[in-house]
Amino acid sequence: MAKSLAAPVGRLYPRRVTARQVSSQAGPAHPRIRRQGLDPADSSVVRDLTVRAFGADEGPVVADLVEALQASDAYGGLSFVAERGGGPVGHTMLTRSWVDAAAALVDVLVLSPLSVAPEHQGSGIGRALVAEAIAAADAEGWPAVFLEGDPGYYGRLGFERASERGFSRPSVRIPDAAFQVVTLTAHQPWMAGALVYADRFWAFDCVGLR
Ligand SMILES: CC(C)(COP(=O)(O)OP(=O)(O)OC[C@H]1O[C@@H](n2cnc3c(N)ncnc32)[C@H](O)[C@@H]1OP(=O)(O)O)[C@@H](O)C(=O)NCCC(=O)NCCS
């Protein structure tokens, strides 16, 4: 999504991490993933992680989007904080959007944003957060999780090109390869059509690339 979230193919990784760096950072400490709490202190933890991951220019807008989504009816508590060594190191969340299928409007989820503290990037936090989010979505009976992002990254985490699964992009500003989906247990073949983002993504102009 957009200026930042758009997950700009080729821009997803602000810096290249070598295999050697990744393996040396991977370490033994598997992150603990927990649901974000309702208290303001946890909201501030999420805001801080988002701003640090996306940087001073884009971070505040992405953090505002997170808060707006969480205050909207698109949010059902699917927000996850990764911790390592007792401290917060990453965050992601899922919010409800729709697939405009021929037979019916289908509730689906969008994963956005995904934020890992710069000093912990390349050590498996993002992978663990995405895995936990997908597992939670499946357990709640959602049929699919969509995102915009670098297929080189998300393809390794189970995402497929959505257009090859019968879905169309909510905006022509999203490169086809960046529009990705994971279909879950509840998905059925008739659930195909255009992804329609929840309105907060449009209100914050966080759809597609500019
Ligand atoms: C993009 C981001 C979420 C990835 O999270 P992460 O914790 O660094 O990623 P992981 O360590 O889980 O990486 C998973 C895989 O991608 C690879 N990878 C991670 N960062 C990479 C990088 N910068 N370059 C190349 N490969 C990378 C890892 O090697 C790993 O592969 P492996 O499982 O085969 O070892 C994180 O770097 C980030 O917060 N970036 C800034 C915000 C952003 O752009 N978010 C995404 C758009 S919404």
173 contacts 207 by C-beta, under 8 angstroms? yes
pTM of the predicted model as reported, rounded to 2 decimal places: 0.88
Q: How far is CA 142 from CA 45, 69, 185, 210, in A?
A: 27, 18, 8, 30
Find the 184 Cα to ligand 1 centroid distance in Å.
Answer: 23
Give me 51's structure tokens: 């701003």
Task: Please give the average per-residue pLDDT across 17-39, as a whole number.
Answer: 64
State whether residue 130 is helix, strand or coil: helix
In a domain, 14, yes or no: no
pLDDT at 3: 36
Alpha carbons within 13 angstroms on the beta-carbon side of residue 86 total 0
In a domain, 7, yes or no: no
For 79-136, write each residue's pLDDT tens digit. 999 999 999 999 999 999 999 999 999 999 999 999 999 999 999 999 999 999 999 9
Instruction: Choose one of 1, 11, 89, 114 to mutate for the ligand 1 pocket test, by most ligand atoms within 8 angstroms of C-beta.
Output: 114
Q: Backbone phi, then psi, for 31, in 5-degree steps?
A: -70, 150
Find the 125 Cα to ligand 1 centroid distance in Å.
Answer: 8
Find the 126 Cα to ligand 1 centroid distance in Å.
Answer: 6
For 147-168, write each residue's pLDDT tens digit. 999 999 999 999 999 999 999 9
pLDDT at 140: 98
Q: What is the chain's Cα-based Rg? A: 16
In a domain, 188, yes or no: yes
Centroid of chain to Cα 98: 16
Closest C-alpha to ligand 1, atom 34: 156
In a domain, 174, yes or no: yes
pLDDT at 17: 34
User: How many domains are contained in the chain?
Assistant: 1
- Cα separation, 16 vs 5, whole angstroms: 18
State yes or no: pLDDT of 12 exceeds 50.
Answer: no
Residue 56: domain span:
19-203
In a domain, 96, yes or no: yes
**pLDDT averaged over every residue in the chain:** 89
Centroid of chain to Cα 127: 11
In a domain, 82, yes or no: yes
Closest C-alpha to ligand 1, atom 32: 124
Q: Which residue in 113, 100, 75 sits closest to 168, CA to CA? A: 100
Task: Please give the average per-residue pLDDT across 39-44, as a whole number.
Answer: 96
Find the 122 Cα to ligand 1 centroid distance in Å.
Answer: 5
Could you tell me whether strands 105-116 and 144-148 are parallel, antiparallel, or unpaired per DSSP bridges? Answer: parallel
Residues in the ligand 1 pocket, defined by CB under 6 Å: 5, 7, 12-13, 15-17, 22, 53-54, 112-116, 121-127, 149, 153, 156
In a domain, 169, yes or no: yes
In a domain, 59, yes or no: yes
Find the CATH number of the domain harbouring 162: 3.40.630.30
pLDDT at 209: 75
